[in-house]
Structure 1
């Protein structure tokens, strides 16, 4: 499958998150198995497993069920330090290497925390096992292939009861799941109404904690395609996970307003100079923020501070977070999902008696159009004409000027 127009994706996990269900949903959505096999070959694991994928039913609903058959006669308990070196040396794309490392780092650090050992010494079966390797590498490779503009995950249910592990019977949520949720700020759904089983696994939660832009319920759902991955356990309800591809965020007619998903990032800062604040704002803008605004406020102990708010696209949120951490002293960053309607616009030039003037034309839903000059271009033209920008624009507003578009309508 070759992805078409850029689209956003939603992971709907009514019976929890598990690596095999995530991978099966990607395959059901059309991702080729070769997308999964290629990076595993690069890691030297091609002889350690076989993928068995079959169409099946659970609770009367169809989907794909995936099973990793182990070909290692005596599967080793790989240490995280050893696995990390193998990932670093493999010929993987920068994106894939970064995401695979991040998922396994999240798993190793969570297990290390709950067992009270150093992360490099973690040799727990869940990370070293071949099926988990296939799930993590496969899902990361599939997401790289799909290249979503945004990926959101519905808050997963934890389940209840106990789960058998290499460390004996552990309570649900498993300690590693709780630690992952704590570290990544994930709210787990929990209560007596859920089946008595482990619904969200450490591998599944680590994958979404790293790959998803956030956990929450989408404000709107416009499904274009759905991939369904089935679980192996029989529950009192269909045991499935759905990967939903939304309709591309362009309307059939490009001259109509378009809805745009956004993330608002905000921090309140009271301990930097004006020069440092200006530098932060410029770095955010240069790194892709659609807009950055500041407003004064009074913070604790009566100190004057500044609220800095950045408007960013979901796919740029992670990069912008790195700017906040690097360029500001803030200890926290608020994020909330938001959206906006955007009018179609196109760039072009106005032919004026004083020369050409760069401008932007906007199209409103009722069909009317308006033209606004680019401020820098207006100032330059006014300077050459010996007029103020306001005087020049007043004169131009009285003329019937021709707008010459240089691009198609876009939102």
Structure 2
């Protein structure tokens, strides 16, 4: 059985998952094309390229917001706590030179945002946020294949239920702040597309380190793990880690919690490919990367 193992020794976030999948040999250009089915591609550009983290070559994946999204970007970090570490501060160095070859064919965004209401689509801007319900409708309308649709919906539901529980809201009333929503949508659906593309039949994961310390979210200063992350990780083994940083975001936690059938050490397998996905932070003593290992399970 073709198995994917998340080795979360430095935590897990949505962008780290996509970076690691690309690094392991998945095709980001095909993912980019599939994501166009959502009709929000005038709001973002994708960038990916090699970086070195503490001696390990890994792939850094970024969502670069365009048009309206960019105007809200400066104060986006105080919104949607699920993304402050995932993408919030990575846009400023989302490059250009190492990615130009990947994007020439698909991104003529700069001038397109004036037309973004031509689509009769459900995911366009609604006063700075998108509801869980709108995201579900958009996924269902996009006509992804069944496995991509089911994985994406399950991950969003996990996050939506956690946010709803924390804020005392029913699932259909939960909303994602505008910038966080774009990042979540790309990371979650992109991960589902790449996992499907790689023919993965089974997912397993290590225990999840969350980090320690405090984080600024839109409701004030909270301990790490953030409330949503902890809620999502109910029933999942959490690894101890004394790094004072948010290592695992709600999006990363939800991807692991929903997709992994078991949590523990590396299963017996014949390893076929390995991928390293870079996070936004650089630590002194270990690489801030997510490692994925893909192979045939014994």
- Pick from 59, 65, 69: which aligns with 2:60? 65
Matched pairs, number:
240
CA distance, structure 2, for counterparts of residue 25 and residue 235 of structure 1: 18
Distance 1:170 1:125, change over 3 A: farther
| Higher helix content, 1 or 2 | 2
Q: Which residue of 2 aligns with 1:110?
A: 162
CA distance, structure 2, for counterparts of residue 121 and residue 103 of structure 1: 17
Q: For residues 221-280 of structure 1, what are the alpha-carbon distances to aligned partners after superposition, in whole Å with 9 as ceiling and x for unaligned? A: 54222111011112232111111112x35xxxxxxxxxx4xxxxxxxxxxxxxxxxxxxx
Secondary structure of the 1:11 match is strand
* Residue 269 of structure 2 is aligned to residue 235 of structure 1: no
Distance 1:169 1:39, change over 3 A: farther
* Residue 50 of structure 2 is aligned to residue 50 of structure 1: no
- Runs of 4+ in structure 1 deviating by more than 4 angstroms, as ranges, are none
Q: Confirm or deny: 8 A CA contact 1:39 1:137 kept in the other structure.
A: no
RMSD: 1.8
Q: Which residue of 2 aligns with 1:123?
A: 175
Q: Which residue of 2 aligns with 1:89?
A: 141
- Pick from 150, 153, 165: which aligns with 2:202? 150
TM-score, with normalisation over the residues of structure 1? 0.56
User: Which structure 2 residue ranges, 5 or more long, are not aligned?
Assistant: 73-127
Q: Which residue of 2 aligns with 1:202?
A: 250
| Higher strand content, 1 or 2 | 1
Bigger drift between 217-226 and 173-182 goes to: 217-226
TM-score, with normalisation over the residues of structure 2? 0.76
Cα distance, 1:121 vs structure 2: 1.3
CA distance, structure 2, for counterparts of residue 69 and residue 52 of structure 1: 7
Secondary structure of the 1:66 match is strand
Q: Which residue of 2 aligns with 1:354?
A: none
Q: Which has the larger radius of gyration?
A: 1
Q: Confirm or deny: 8 A CA contact 2:130 2:178 kept in the other structure.
A: no
CA distance, structure 1, for counterparts of residue 45 and residue 200 of structure 2: 28
Secondary structure of the 2:130 match is coil
Secondary structure of the 1:78 match is strand
Q: Which residue of 2 aligns with 1:139?
A: 191
Secondary structure of the 1:196 match is coil
Cα distance, 1:220 vs structure 2: 3.2
Cα distance, 1:107 vs structure 2: 0.4
User: Which structure 1 residue ranges, 5 or more long, are not aligned?
Assistant: 1-5, 250-259, 261-411
